[in-house]
Homo-oligomer: A and B are copies of this chain.
């Protein structure tokens, strides 16, 4: 599409928006024209919010989650179980697990998973810092909550090997039929795993 933008400023703003993942040039143009109709102060607030985000946001020194302070509210929370660490790939995963309200332990954000295809090795993610947390923090259990992909499995295995010497208990989140899911429509791999990893029936 050979777009003729009537203004260079408009074109630059469209270029910026369409650099975002999953945003095409049509959507970008719609965003830009919408912003043009807003108050100057509102657009300034939008722009300043992005600048402040990039310049001022920090990553928790302990778990590498996004934070406004040096240590995030979860790591410094009084009501958290400090002996359990849940290992996740990224910040969204922390938010997703927090939303369940079912987990009260700490987290460790790897910032990626091992993926030779993408050139991401064990040194590119926060595994060393995880291993270094175990003894000083007296961590008793590490829960692996990584994606069920080849990369996730590889990373799980690598972390498991690295943690073996520490004596910490390593578990992984349950794989099985989704709550509300029909047996008939569950894929064979998941269904197979759900039978192998069956749990005791409790009423």
Q: Name A residues whose Cβ lies closer than 8 Å to a Cβ of B.
A: 1-10, 12-13, 15-16, 19-23, 27, 29-36, 38, 40, 43-57, 65-68, 72-74, 90-92, 94-95, 98-99
**Copies of this protein chain in the complex:** 2
By a CB distance below 8 angstroms, the chain B residues around A4 are: 95, 98-99
Contact of A20 among B34, B40, B72, B92 (CB under 8 A): B34
Interface contact B30-A68, CB-CB below 8 Å: no
| 8 Å CB contact of A34 from B21, B48, B51 | B21
Residue in B6, B46, B50 whose CB lies within 8 Å of A35 = B50
Residue of B nearest to A27 (CB): B22
Q: How far is the CB of A77 from chain B (nearest CB, A)?
A: 11
A33 contacts B67, C-beta separation under 8 Å: no
Tell me whether A13 and B92 are in contact (CB under 8 A). no
Tell me how far the C-beta of A61 lies from the nearest C-beta in chain B, rounded to whole angstroms: 14
Chain B positions within 8 Å of A7 at CB level: 57, 66-68
Provide 8 A-B residue pairs closer than 8 Å at the C-beta atoms, listed in order of the A residue.
Answer: A1-B99, A3-B95, A4-B95, A6-B66, A9-B53, A20-B35, A29-B92, A43-B53
A6 and B74 contacting across the interface, CB-CB below 8 Å: yes
- From known contacts A6-B67, A6-B94, A9-B56, infer whether A43 and B34 are also in contact, taking CB-CB under 8 Å: no
Least CB separation from A13: chain B residue: B53
